[in-house]
Every structure is written in C-alpha cells, then in structure tokens.
Amino acid sequence: MQRRLANFNIWTVGAVLIILMLFLPNLTIVTGFFTPSNDNWEHMKEFVLRQFVINSLILTLATAFFTILIGLSLAWLVAQYDFPFRRFLKWALILPLSIPPFIGAYTYHGILNFTGAIQTVLREGFGMELDPAYFDIMNLPGAIFIYTMFLYPYVYTITQVYLSEQSASLIESTRLLGKGPWRTFFQVVLPISRISIIAGASLVVLEVLNDYGVVKYYGIQTFTTAIFQSWFGLGDLDTSIKLAASLMGFVIVILLIEKLLRGRRQYSYFSTKVRPLQLIPLSGWKGFAAAGYGMLILSLGFFIPVIQLVDWTILTFGTIPMEEFMRYVQNSVFVAGLSAILIVAFALIVGNFARMVQGKYTKLLPKLTVLGYSIPGAVIAVAVVTAFVALDGYLAPLYLAIGLETTLVLSVSIVLLLAAYIIRFFAIGYNSIETGYDKIGTNFRDASRLLGAGPTKTFFKVDVPMMKGAIISGFILVFIDVLKEIPLTLILRPFNFDTLSTKAFQYASDEKIMEASQASLLIVGISALAIVIFYKILEKEMD
C-alpha cells in the first residue's frame, strides 16, 4: 500500500479514468448479448444471420486476397526495381486512401450506370447498345472491387517501408546466392514480409467489417447493415446489441487468427541501421510494364474517381447554397478538430501513465484502449448509446432538480458523438503519441524531476515540447479519419447536424450523386493534402 500511495497522483487518476471511459461502453455489448432474446432476434438467427455471416466472410476474405495481391506486388516493384515514374508512384500509390470507400462506391456507380460516362460514350460515340447488366457494379464483386481499390494502400505502405528499409542484406545475399527474381520473391521476400502483410491485411479486414457506406449503397446485407436495420427499421435496440455482439465475436476471431498467423514472432525483426536496397533497373518493355501497372492501379484508385468528382462539381456548382455548404464544412472541422484535440490530450496522459507504471498487469491497462479501433463503428454506436442512456438514467434526478423538462440530455447531445469518435479512433492518436514517448525515452523526464520540477511541470515544459512531431501527426491522422467517418456520424449526430460526409452520403443515397460530389471532393482534397504532408514529414525524418 505504501508503495502505491507514493505513486498515486492526479496523472494516474486521470489516466485510469480515461482508460475506463474508453473501455466500459464496450462491455455493455457483452452483457447485452446475454439478456433474454425476443422474436426479432429469433427470426434473424433462424433466417438471415447465416447470410450476413457468409456475405461478411466473402467480402473480407476476397478483399484481403486482392489487397495483398496488389499491395505486395506494388511494394515489391517499388522497393526492388527502378522504372519510369517510380519516384512519383512510390508516394502517389498511397493516395487512394484519401477516398473513403463509400465515395468511391457511388462515383464508380455513376461512371458505369446507364447515363454515366462509359455507357454514354459507347452508345453515342460507337452506337453500341450493350446489356446494362455488364456494367452493374452494385453487387458483391463490385463491393470487393471498391474495397480493393481504396484499401490496398494499407498493405502497400507497410510492406513497402519494410522491404525498402529492412530487408536489404537478406535480399542481397539471396541474389549473391544466385537466385532469380521469381525464386527470390517466393522463397525470401514473401516469407520475410509476412508480418507486414498480415498487419496491413488485418487493417483492411477491420475496415471492411466497419464499413457501412458501401454495402448500404450497393444493397448488400452484412452485419453492419443489419445492426442499423433492426435498430432504426424495427426500433429494436436489443436485437442490434445481439448482432453487434456477434460481429464483435467475428472481429475477435480475426484478431486471434492474426495472432496465430504472426506465430511466435510477435514483433518483426527491425534492424536500427536503415540501409536502402540497391535498385535493379528495368529497361525496355519491362520498365513500361511496371510503370503501366502502377499507373493503372493509381488511375483506378485515385485519378478516375477524382476526375469524375471534379466534373460533377463543375456541373452542379451553385446548386447547394454556399451558406449551407459552409455550415457542413464548419461542422466537419468542429467535430474532427475537437475529437482530434481530445484524443491527443488523452493519449498524452495515458501514454505518460504507460511509461511510468511498472508491474505486469498495470502495463496491460493502456493496451485495452487500443481495442476500440478493431471494433466496428456500428458496434461502438450501439455501445455508446446504451451507455449514455443508462448514464442519463442515473443523472435524471439531477436534471429534474435543475428544472430541465427531459431526462435525455447527454444521449441526444454532441457529447455522444464525440465520445464515440474518441473510443473508435483513440488507437490512431495513441500509436503516434506512444512512438513519440518511446523516442524521447525517460532520461529527460528524470533529469527534469531531479532539477526540482514536479510531474506536471515536467509534462508541460519537457515532454510536450519534445513531442511536437508526434502530437501533430497524431492530430492529422485522427482529423482525417473523423472527417471521412460515416456510420457513427450518421446515427449519433444531434438532430439537424450535418457534416460533409453525412451530406455526401445522403445525397448519394437519394440518387443525387452529382450533388454529393462537392462535399466528397472537399473530403478527398483535405485528406490527400494531409497524406502528402504526412508523407513528406515522414520522409524528412527518415533522412
């Protein structure tokens, strides 16, 4: 007890409170699963649950397969060979990440449908009347295509960084041992990059399970759409909770598979000496083929949808009153900015706690907070609403005492939405902050304490200024993610509160895809800019 009391200070209390706040709402899902079931749930379990599971499985597995195929092949080309446009492609291939899949989904539908660019050109330019069914993208394969085109950068970036920086001696020795490029790839590159491939692919899988926009727009039944349907269509939150719990079970299975696939090598070997791989020049048709392949993927994942969005924006400019549009921009910046600030502040407190505590179990505590990112938005939405309604229940006497007429206060306010963002995206900010703390180590903190500064002064005068880079990058990453977010914002926003992404989604759902383009283009523009800035900062740090 003595030992503990001495370390007990306001920082510890704050950190523990934040961890609990991030973790507890998810527990409501687990407990909700074991409440007695009603007819809706029985019906779903009997007739449709199987289809949800099958659809979700097909989507995740197929997307994982194709993103690995594309992500790994591009990473290998960029890391190992020199060909035209290589330097440009190296960073530009990340850009598709700036297009949220639902925006890609409705853009491609717009390009391919009867009045879209392709069919119109074929019809009017070449007089070809083709069966519109050939161009139907609103189905399972179409959704897989969309996910693959906009999510492959997760696999590409992680693997490319690993291959370019970490594998030089391994690959060079393989070459010296006289192996050709194909055998090098299959016998060495594939096995050694396994960890980064799995890391990237599991991010892709979690994104697919989290997605609501694409499957909703394409009319595909998955867990996520079912959660919303039973909640809003049937008004049955209990069944939503049960579905959410099943989905969480699904996610846990995936996380376990990831762990299993990584095997005992929890952490890949990272040598501290960064030595770039000597590039092999590809000449003639081989070089053009490599450049062409990279350009094709980049066009499908970025240029084509962006050009289409620009075209639509020009066509519809002025149809949405500027004043209204600016309000969406303001709302978006407000929620994204505020949640990014809160997340970074909380991450600083929890990160500081994580490096100060000792003991096996307390060290695990901060890890709990990272779970949020693997939990799909729909599940978090259900959890947060359940928790806030309960909280309002506890606070009801207080509300009445201060003269309010309703007992639902917090659960209909913007606090609800912010809480959900914080739970979902905390891990993104925390990763960045944690890396920052790792980099500065504990010596500066110790030095400051020995010079008479207490923990609080040390935090503000020494830790925070030294972590500027980590703080900025954490903020940017969270900001973009909130900006693009769809399911949480859609369900949890206060009445009449619209952001760029909810507006884009609504216009698209109402088949006003041209009107949706302005908000979409702005989201894509901001995200792309942030990605470029982020990449440049990263590159500078590596030098």
**Residues in the site for another protein, rule: CB under 8 A?**
2-3, 6, 358-360, 443-444, 446-454, 461-462, 465-466
**Residue 445 Cβ vs another protein, minimum distance, rounded to whole Å:** 9
Question: Between 7 and 120, whose beta carbon lies closer to another protein?
Answer: 7
Which of 151, 194, 187 lies closest to 171 in space, CA to CA?
187
The backbone torsions φ and ψ at residue 169, rounded to the nearest 5 degrees and listed phi first, read -70, -35
Query: Can you tell me whether residue 81 is helix, strand or coil?
Result: strand
Question: Between 415 and 464, whose beta carbon lies closer to another protein?
Answer: 464
**Residue 457 Cβ vs another protein, minimum distance, rounded to whole Å:** 8
**Residue 7 Cβ vs another protein, minimum distance, rounded to whole Å:** 9
Spatial contact of 119 and 132, defined as CB atoms under 8 Å apart? yes
- Angle CA(158)–CA(159)–CA(162) in degrees, nearest 5? 90
**Residue 450 Cβ vs another protein, minimum distance, rounded to whole Å:** 5
**Residue 439 Cβ vs another protein, minimum distance, rounded to whole Å:** 11
Place of tokens 């259900």: 382
Query: Can you tell me whether residue 280 is helix, strand or coil?
Result: strand
Q: How far apart are the first and last CA of the chain?
A: 48
**Residue 351 Cβ vs another protein, minimum distance, rounded to whole Å:** 18
Question: Between 219 and 441, whose beta carbon lies closer to another protein?
Answer: 441
Question: Between 3 and 265, whose beta carbon lies closer to another protein?
Answer: 3
Question: Between 150 and 437, whose beta carbon lies closer to another protein?
Answer: 437
**Residue 442 Cβ vs another protein, minimum distance, rounded to whole Å:** 8
Question: Between 433 and 486, whose beta carbon lies closer to another protein?
Answer: 433
Question: Between 321 and 359, whose beta carbon lies closer to another protein?
Answer: 359
Spatial contact of 385 and 412, defined as CB atoms under 8 Å apart? no
- Angle CA(229)–CA(234)–CA(238) in degrees, nearest 5? 90
The backbone torsions φ and ψ at residue 429, rounded to the nearest 5 degrees and listed phi first, read -70, -40
Which of 454, 155, 410 lies closest to 301 in space, CA to CA?
155
Spatial contact of 426 and 373, defined as CB atoms under 8 Å apart? yes
Distant-in-sequence, close-in-space partners of 438: CB < 8 Å, separation ≥ 6: none
Question: Between 183 and 461, whose beta carbon lies closer to another protein?
Answer: 461
User: In angstroms, rounded to a whole number, what is the distance separating the alpha carbons of residues 253 and 256?
Assistant: 5
